Amino acid sequence: MSRDFLAVELAPADGFEPRWRSPLERALRDAPPGIRDLSRTGKLHVHGDVGAPPGVEVVRVAPDRALVLCAAADVERVRGELGERVVDMSAALAGLEVRGERLMRRLADLDLDALPAAGAVAHVPATVLRDGDAFRIFFPQEYADHVGAVVLDAAAGLA
Nearer to other proteins, 6 or 52 (CB): 6
Least Å distance, CB 86 to other proteins, is 10
User: Min. distance of Cβ 65 from other proteins in angstroms?
Assistant: 9
Nearer to other proteins, 2 or 54 (CB): 2
Question: What minimum distance in Å lies between the beta carbon of 131 and other proteins?
Answer: 20
Those residues with Cβ within 8 angstroms of residue 28's Cβ, 6 or more apart along the chain or in another chain: 35, 37, 96, 148, 152
What does residue 101 show for φ and ψ, rounded to 5 degrees? -65, -40
* Range list of H helices, 2-143: 75-82, 101-107
CB of 17 to other proteins, least distance (A): 7
Indicate the residue among 30 and 54 with the shorter CB distance to other proteins: 30
Torsion sign, CA atoms 70, 85, 58, 78: negative
Q: In angstroms, what is the minimal distance from the CB of 136 to other proteins?
A: 18
List CB contacts of 85: < 8 A, sequence separation 6 or more. Answer: 46, 47, 48
Tell me the residue type at 67: L
Q: Which is nearer to other proteins, 135 or 143 (CB)?
A: 143
Residues that bind other proteins (CB under 8 A): 1-8, 10, 12-23, 26, 39, 45, 47, 85, 87-93, 102, 105-106, 108-113, 122-124, 140-146, 149-150, 153-154, 157
Nearer to other proteins (CB atom), residue 15 or residue 51? 15
- Rounded-to-integer distance, Cα 23 and Cα 26, Å: 7
